[in-house]
Structure 1
Amino acid sequence: MNSQEKKAGLSWRIKDWIAGYVFIAPVTIGLTVFYIWPFMQNFWFSFNDVNKFNVTHFIGLENYKQLLSDPEVFQTFGNTLKYVVVTVPVGLFLSLVTAALLNSNIKGKSLYRTLYFLPSVTMAAAVAMVWKWVFNGQMGILNSIITSLGGPRIGWLIDPKLALYVIMLVGLWMSVGYNMIILLAGMQGISKTYYEAAAIDGAGPITQFFKITVPLLTPTIFFVMITSIIGGFQVFDVVYMMVGKLNPAYEATQTVVMLFYRQAFDYGYKGYAAAISILIFGAIMLVTLIQFVVQKKWVNY
């Protein structure tokens, strides 16, 4: 190879290098401006006392010390964990069953898929307002049906023992359709030859589901589980819209993201709120790492 050929090859490599960075530049800039830099700034704020004008005063670990001694943090974190523990497995089960049914040969399955997916693309504020009217203790549709049958009115959203479970129900209604689409896509990627061979061996639909569908769908199931856990830890809008601050059930339904919002925007304690957000980030990262470890052991098994 002569010198001209070497120069031509080097020129092409430089052009490819430049073209590659040009193509990834929009995404890189977007991630840096809207994700990486705000996270770094938020992490710095967690070690500072930040006033309403974003003037910082370094106080070290004081925000984290207050975080570990604040009973409201433990209560809201407990509410969030309860929400995650209930909605994630129940939602995964419902999504898996729904996806399996809509993956079979039934009439109108395209219509059913659309109907199940619609709640996922509806604005959370609109969903919360509709369900708040349904569960209204005085004029709600549900209580009207119960009283017409001779039953008592139930304070669905003002009873501390019931309000969080009502919100869980709304959260499931919103998330099942989205997870169902992801699982359905995973199911359609499984070769039909596995099912044909299993049918020849005499395996029924239930056996095929547990012996073929679930094992081969494991990566998709774990993806849905991780995204559901992350979404559960970040639940805010539905709770905020359905349960007001003057509601007797507010403390029983307040999530850790709601506490972050109150500390940052209602009280103006932005440094303390930043520490709460770092706690949320750490909890999500820990659960995600555990999920990845469990996934590797499951797949190897």
Structure 2
Amino acid sequence: MATDTLKRRLRFAPPTAVVRRVVLTEADYLIFEAINRHGPLPTHYLYEFTKHIRRDYTHLQNRLTEFYNGDAHGPWLIRPPQQFAGFEARYQHVVYDLAPRAKVALAERGTIACFSPKRSDPFLHRLMQACVVASLEISAPAKGLRYISREEILAHPKCPQATRDTQNPLAISLIGAEQKVLIPDDLFGIEYPGIGFRFFALEIDRNTESIERRNLRQSAFGAKVAGYLDILRNQTYRSHWGVPNLHILTVTTNRTHERNIIDYIKNRADPKYVGRFAVASESSFGATWRVPNMVLTKLWSEPLIATNGLMRPLARRASIPSA
């Protein structure tokens, strides 16, 4: 195994099998399932999913290293090489993704995600999305709320079978917009006990494109806003995903762009739909990005939802719109 001058294992080194056989435990499957559900995740996030049955953080680190190096039959996890291009690559938490072998193990166990379409977007986009939704799932119980995953929504009897049978169940057809289809980065829900459910389409915006361009056929956030307004007006989220309401949560990388997005929505959207849009920012994924130091619990208090000129946090137990 490759080591540095202090005999420490190199996180940049290729996998080298050091054990003959790895026997999977319940905690190991929880790791695989979390990555399969959300996308590539850093070590400290994976610990949050398993700490109730894991010995300690160091034990998890050693276990992840075993999965990365694998045994005689190959590795279980990979370390996406793109993470090592950051300025703080040597000092941040290591990010892991599933190797094919782990997906086979989940399929044999019957817990592989059924509605996770193949992704071709950049690594940082997928990492940011995974950290956002994983943060919501991890921290929801402390807020007295329940996180509802994309898998649970699409597996629910109210979701049409025709949607589940499509190549990408997240892709929703538009009726009046110039573009034909809109594909959110993710779909999730929040249960507010005693009040109801609120469902969200998630958009990750790393501020790499303009909000508005002259030609809306080009990739621009403004085109997505138009698409979501079409979905809200025609309530196609009901017939396509089977959810009773829909909000749109956009997470970007800085406060200035967050405010620009809010202003754009206020100026373009019908007042009755403005309150369906929430915007938040996370600076870790800016131009000089790094893996977040901790779970993003601030997402519950900082996302801004424009409603009659007021802003309310995501976790607030407010009335739930029926349409």
Using structure 1 for the length normalisation, give the TM-score: 0.27
Greater gyration radius:
1
Structure that is richer in strand per residue: 2
Higher relative contact order (CA 8 A, sep 6+): 1
Structure that is richer in helix per residue: 1
